[in-house]
Each structure stands twice: as C-alpha cells, then as structure tokens.
Copies of this chain bind each other. A is one copy, B any other.
Amino acid sequence: MTKEKVVLAYSGGLDTSCILKWLINKGFEVICYMANIGQDEDFAAAEEKALKIGASKVVIEDIREDFIKNYVWPAVSYGLVYENRYLLGTSLARPCISVGLINCVKQNNASYVSHGATGKGNDQVRFELSCYTLLPDVKIIAPWRIKEFIEKFEGRQDLLKFAAENNIPVSVTPKAPWSMDANLMHISYESGILEDPNQEPPKDLFLMSADPREAPKQGTRLEISFVKGFPVRLIDDETSSIYNEPLEIFLKLNEIGGKHGVGRIDIVENRFLGLKSRGVYETPGVTILHHAHTDLEVFCLDKEIYRVKQTLRDKLSDYVYNGFWFSPEGQYTRKCLDLAADTVEGTVKLQIYKGSVTILGRSSKSSLYNADLVSMDKHSGFSPEDATGFINIHAIRLKEYHRALNE
C-alpha cells in the first residue's frame, strides 16, 4: 500500500527533526520543505540531516526575491505596522513560505502539510489559514497540538532523549534561553528569559544590528527613491554607490541599518489568540524604508486619500498579523491600497546614525505640495478673506452647541 505523503516545513533544528522522525514512525512518507527566506542556515547540512533521518526527499527553495517583491515591498508601500510598532517581519514571511509548501504538496501529490509551530502562537494560524486558502482540501498535522505528541515531548529533555534514541544529530551549540525566528527582513526573539516583560534583553541577543552605543561615530547619508510606493533606487551618499535591484537594495539597507543599530524594538503585543506576549525584534533595513516611505507618502498623497488609506492600512495590519494575507478581505484591501499608491513617487534623503533615522528632505514630481501656495510671502491663488468664511461657517455648529447647552 502506498504511504500517505506529508510535506513538512523543516528547519533543520531539534523540533522539526523529531517531528520528521515521529511522522515517519506514524507511517507517513515525509518530504521536507525548506524555504531560503534569508535566514542564516546551512541548507546542505540540513538536507543531509533530513535524508539521514528518513525524509523521502528534501526540497530547498530560494524564495527571497518573491518575499521582497510580493510581501515586503507591498508592506512598505501600505505602511503596515501592528499595534503602532511591529513591522510584521514574521507575519509577512508565513504566507510566502506557505505558497512554497502548497506548491510542494501539489507537485508531489501529497495530502498533508505539517509544521513545528507551537499551540499558543500566531505562526500556526498564519501557516494553516494560508494553506487552507491556497488549497482547501489540504490536511494539516500540527504535532504541538496533538495530545499524544505533547505528552510524549513535555520538555526539551524529551526531545533530546528521542533524538539520541533515533540517531538524530543534535547541534553542540547550547540553546539560547529564548527562541528566535529569522528571515531577510528581521529577527524576532521571544520566550524563555524574555517572558519577564521587565527583564532587559541581554546584549548578545541581537544578531542583525549593532548596539547603537557601539555603532559608528559617523552617520551614513542615503537617498531612497520610490515609484508607486515601491523602492526602486538607493544611493549611498558616502560611497556614491547606486543600487537598483530589489534584493541588492534590501541587502544594502540591512547592512547600513544593522551597522548603525537601527530598527530594534522591545514590545508586548496582543496575539491573535488573545494572549499578550513579549517580543523583541530587529528590522534594520525595513525600518529605514518605513521612515522614508511614510515621509514621501504624506508629501505626495491627497490629504483625504491619505486618511482612507490609513483606515485600510490599520485593517490590513491586523489581517496580516492574524494570518489573513490570502483571505478575501486581505486580497481586497491590498488591491485598494495598491490603487492609493499610484502617485507615491519621489526621493527621500535620510541620515542613519546611532539607531535613529532622520529625514533630511524630500522631492517628488507627483507631490501635491505647492510652495507658492503655502508661502507666507505670496498670495498666489489664495484670498485670506476666504479663511474668515471658512472659520465662521465651522463656528456655527460650535456656537449652536454652546447655546443649546446653556438653554
């Protein structure tokens, strides 16, 4: 009898290696899927390890360009930010990886997807809702929510024991007292010692960015250009280097932001499941882009379109955080936001220094800014008497309210 096929989102780590073996023991044929989304990983070693454990196949896919062009660039253009601070680095990666997983399911005639996301977190939701939307008939195995699995693996010691028993190689590097998730856009840190929200993150936690206090004494000046809300050119003023390709723009900004300690945040956030959780994030490059784009956007867009866009942005930020990137409402608001970005075009000058991003100026051919109109020294197209009428009409309602209150 043919075995049922599972595509496992494989990381090469202890958890998913044990899950791989556990699934095989359950009688499944397991294909390991690894997305190269920019994390620091020895893919060849991971492949070897998975095959050794018993995977029937390992699929490694470089989805970095897809991630940047179709998830990160739009997120910058939409201005997505969760609960006023989190730039959604992990939330954006999940649907992108899910596309890879589902393609792998289809190409291999598999029926199942499996993953190592925990039962209290957001990632299980993001993976599964994405997969179910892309392929409604797919079945999902989430071991960390299966009673038998949880009871077998109550703590890390049980995983290590199982690994030893099953000849699963274990990294000799001692595990950090927190968990992390990395991609091109950011690294997130949570759990372990970070669960105490008053405990300052240790200095050696951060991998992408320097401590601002140890960043260079000399800042870096940049120019970033956008067309329809998407970054299209980066100029490093120091070196006069010009970058035009998405991936190179991205990597250069990560390098500069990282060097200068940009994009670290330490927050408590509300998970989709209703729990509050503490997260530490570092997002060097996109933090720079977010500042630049925010500046250009208000410069270019009509005042009221901007307000409608903010309403849609806030909705989409929650959708994306909660795993609804591919949902009907996710698709719909993205289309609406794309329409709004049409005239966001121009160049922003910035300085990056010791953890901060400073806007130095902006220019645009499509801006609605009109220096003559706003100038205190010119009357062009403006009659000051009109402002009197404008104010007086607005005052009618306020005076009436006062009158009624005092009657």
Contact = CB atoms under 8 A, between A and B. Distances in A.
A353 B353 contact: no
A2 interface: no
A43 to B, nearest CB: 26
Given A197-B361, A398-B327, A333 B353 contact: no
Nearest to A312: B308
Contacts of A318: 307
A385 B393 CA distance: 10
Given A371-B195, A393-B387, A314 B310 contact: yes
Contact of A212 (B191, B271, B353, B360): B353
Contacts of A128: 391, 395
A311 to B, nearest CB: 6
Contact of A336 (B133, B336, B384): B336
Given A303-B274, A336-B339, A362 B268 contact: yes
Contact of A396 (B308, B369, B373): B373
A319 to B, nearest CB: 8
Given A305-B329, A329-B305, A198 B84 contact: no
Contacts of A175: none
Interface string A279-318: 0000000000000001100110011111110111011001
A65 interface: no
Contact of A376 (B179, B265, B343): B179
A386 B387 contact: no
B266 A360 contact: yes
A348 to B, nearest CB: 9
Given A298-B267, A310-B314, A382-B120, A399 B359 contact: no
Interface string A360-398: 111101111111011111000111111111111111111
B349 A340 contact: no
A365 to B, nearest CB: 8
A404 B368 contact: yes
A256 interface: no
A392 B383 contact: yes
A63 interface: no
A195 B381 CA distance: 17
Contacts of A402: 133-134, 136
Interface stretch (A104-112, A139-147, A235-243): A139-147
